[in-house]
Structure 1
């Protein structure tokens, strides 16, 4: 099933930085197909408004990072239309409602093998609802820390934060570098400057081809030293159009552009879709 029809191909890179040309008016059919037809991995940065949700899968393994806002359940339709069956790993980066908002429904509707949370606690009803859903599910539960490594299917995951909890929910975000077919992606949730400084103590674990910009592109994150360490080819932010926070902040956009990093975001481009095959990756946008 192809719910988005034509996608616009905008960027093609390999690990050797070999470019390829696309017709800007062209497109590519996005069709998940059957598991037997998969010979690639894909990452979908869902357009869930002022919230976060990203899907990683390779036909056999499915990882979902965050589940969108508590007052916006479009992620449920996306997962259904993308024919997601089971979820091997559900990562809830931190307990704010714009990241964990639909986790309870997903735990109820899907067979989730494992859940990661930071261990930071919140007083919100959304957080309490999610904790109850985890307890009622059959999913394993972990609170990973910097230095933890694991493989889930083809995905190699290195946890780069948090080192320890401080009571700051944003800085306690689970941050991780995910590698598949030699392509590296960095996800840092809403980690802010203090957490970035902590992660910079091991800069060799930060370099990535694709960077999911921290905290929706906020100026409280995405510091110049951190971007230098990550040194990505592309940054992608998740934010709602005309959101009240002004994300992504102008100074971050300028900083990213000054460093020669291509920038895409859900507020402007809708869903952002990356396909990885044979060590090469291509980026498509919904609009």
Structure 2
């Protein structure tokens, strides 16, 4: 929220330089208009209180990114931290949930959509241990995370396949990465958290090669709940891997109308063929899964981080070309250049014409 207000203030100051009047009044008018309610109002998250020996997993809706908060007996674990722009949302969510300390922080791999806001979380809360794979990235985002870890007097730990960590008495088994890959996605930390008879498998963004390598190690990767790899990409979740997980539920963290066409139909069909019930953040917003070690239940927490217009969109317009496209068109513009329409009539009424490639 703080970052958003700062950006708004800078915008209003720019307007003020052109004679638009008092910037403070403009800022107040923008906020009071309600147009930004979706961003300024945090999700209605109550303080998380989970008994010892039980587990609650919050798959926080961060659009085309990953972020999961695990809670058990007053202890918390964070797996991935969304994009850089998700800092305010994640921080607000954790604060509302009553987080004071993070026992474990995991950055599955050093891509921005997984570690973007980890630095903010590490700086904001007491942190016991930070785990990341033993690979690096020459990016400011990655360096920010390392700086935050160092600022807390910590060192990044690199778990190895076969290691078993402890999260408030719950075993956290490490399955990958089994070696170093040129593809950063395959270097993702793959882990399973067990609670009684129930198991949650987190796969980061591993792709086919790494999935087969994990299977070759002979690990028992069975789980009840699978966090689907790489936002539902067709290059992940191969049939052999899914067969070994034998999961009942699949959770996909993904942004609506994303340019990658995630989750891809072939992946959804694979999940369905194995009888998995699918939960998607682009459709449901933040997803919460709770277990007492035997029974598993799901619920939505708050609303989607995306506007109703975006959630209900059937067509995406390009503000630059003034063309509108189908949701799976290969020529979709980047997010800031998009306009969303529920039907063709709305798009054409706004001055947009059909794309020549997808021919909506």
TM-score of the superposed pair, with normalisation by structure 2: 0.69
2:93 to 67, 78, 97: 78
Deviation track 1:62-121 (CA, whole Å, cap 9, x = no partner) reads 110001101222111111111111000000000000100111111111001000010211
Q: How many residues align?
A: 260
Give matches, 1:183-194, under 5 Å.
183-194=198-209
Residues 65-214 of structure 1 mapped to structure 2, 5 A cutoff: 65-73=79-87, 74-214=89-229
Match of 1:58 among 72, 75, 99: 72
8 Å CA contact retained: 2:253, 2:280: yes
* Matched-pair contact (CA < 8 Å) for 2:195–2:293: no
Change in Cα spacing, 1:139 to 1:204, as seen in structure 2 (3 Å) is same
Residue matched to 1:46: 60
Q: Which residue of 2 aligns with 1:19?
A: none
In structure 2, the partner of 1:9 is: none
Secondary structure of the residue aligned to 1:62 is strand
Note the C-alpha offset of 1:138.
2.6
Aligned ranges 1:242-281 → 2 under 5 Å: 242-281=257-296
Q: CA deviation at 1:38?
A: 6.3
Query: Structure 1 segments of 4 or more deviating over 3 A?
Result: 30-35, 37-40
Comparing both chains, which one has the higher relative contact order based on Cα–Cα distances under 8 Å and sequence gaps of 6 or more? 1
**Matches of 1:214 and 1:131 in 2, distance apart?**
24
Which position in structure 2 is the counterpart of 1:283? 298
The TM-score with structure 1 as length reference comes to 0.85
More helix by share: 2
Q: 1:153 deviation in Å?
A: 0.8
Structure with a larger share of its residues in strand: 1
1:48: how far off? 0.6
Q: Is contact 2:175-2:219 (8 Å) kept?
A: no
User: Structure 2 vs 1, CA of residues 258 and 278 (structure 1 numbering), >3 Å: closer, same or farther?
Assistant: closer
In structure 2, what is the Cα distance between the partners aligned to 1:203 and 1:31?
41
After alignment, is 195-204 or 210-219 more displaced?
A: 195-204
Range that drifts further, 73-82 or 260-269: 73-82
Q: Secondary structure at the match of 1:113?
A: strand
Measured after TM superposition, the shift of residue 43 of structure 1 is: 0.5
Distance 2:48 2:275 in 1: 35
| Alpha-carbon distance in structure 2 between the residues aligned to 1:186 and 1:156 | 12
Point out where structure 1 has 5 or more consecutive residues left out of the alignment.
Answer: 6-29
Q: Does residue 248 of structure 2 align to residue 233 of structure 1?
A: yes
